[in-house]
Copies of this chain bind each other. A is one copy, B any other.
């Protein structure tokens, strides 16, 4: 069911504009190429409007933000929105500093994001930080578990409803929801948390998935989450016992490179609630 969204990426080769942190940017570019997309990076305010114009999707990641790149995020977001492009927000570190929390809130005020993807702490920070938390229950724990799953699903759906975005909360259990439906995804491995930037990579790849299937943003976003988790499972089987997080990073991108829709359909582990 979800495999076709990967196949669409390979068919359409969406060009994705990334304004992203310099820590994991190389891996974001390589995973975009691996899944069949095409990456371009630009954060200079005087450059971003032209660049985003020729793209199909915009991935805004606020890790290692600075005042110049924040301007670039706003200009690019405004232009992408005018053009009806898919726009994703990855609020890296929201809740960890006032600048990050406020920047994410400001971006959400100015730009209607197609997708917002983060970990549960970041999404909670957004739900509080925007100042209009009415109706959104952010009193859930700092990890989505089988025990608090019902509450977490309700929280994510409500945040999706409030923002009008597809919301993806990734962790041991991943949730991808709009106001009505929530994909509960159980792909992936805990060792992925020992690699820097698997979240950033997922955000880049998710932008390509949604840009290739903009009419099915929820399903396409869920497909990207399943693909990333499944790649983590496949990549892990190819690790020698002496190989660790650095090689594992390569194996995951490599697994995306070789994945097709049928493979994704076979390996995706999700339910819709």
Contact = CB atoms under 8 A, between A and B. Distances in A.
Interface stretch (A45-53, A150-158, A212-220): A45-53
Contact of A41 (B23, B33, B40, B194): B23
Contact-residue size bin, chain A (C-beta under 8 Å from the other chain) = 35 or more
Interface stretch (A107-115, A221-229, A238-246): A238-246
B254 A247 contact: yes
A29 B64 CA distance: 13
A66 B24 CA distance: 19
B46 A67 contact: yes
A119 to B, nearest CB: 13
Interface in A105-132: none
A194 B244 CA distance: 21
Contacts of A98: 50
A59 interface: no
A99 B47 contact: yes
Interface stretch (A83-91, A176-184, A255-263): A255-263
Interface residue SS majority, chain A: helix
A50 B96 contact: yes
Nearest to A257: B244
Q: How many copies does the complex hold?
A: 3
Nearest to A52: B97
A67 B257 CA distance: 35
Interface in A172-216: 194-197
Given A41-B64, A47-B97, A26 B24 contact: yes
Interface string A35-48: 00001111110110
Interface in A1-57: 21-27, 29-30, 33-34, 39-44, 46-47, 50-51, 54
A254 B258 contact: no
A250 interface: yes
A249 interface: yes
Contacts of A256: 244
Interface of A: 21-27, 29-30, 33-34, 39-44, 46-47, 50-51, 54, 63-68, 93, 96-100, 194-197, 234, 238, 240, 242-247, 249-258
Given A33-B194, A44-B99, 12 more contacts: A21-B41, A23-B41, A26-B197, A33-B196, A34-B245, A43-B64, A44-B64, A50-B99, A51-B97, A242-B251, A243-B250, A244-B257
9 contacts: A24-B29, A33-B196, A34-B244, A34-B246, A40-B93, A41-B64, A47-B66, A51-B96, A238-B240
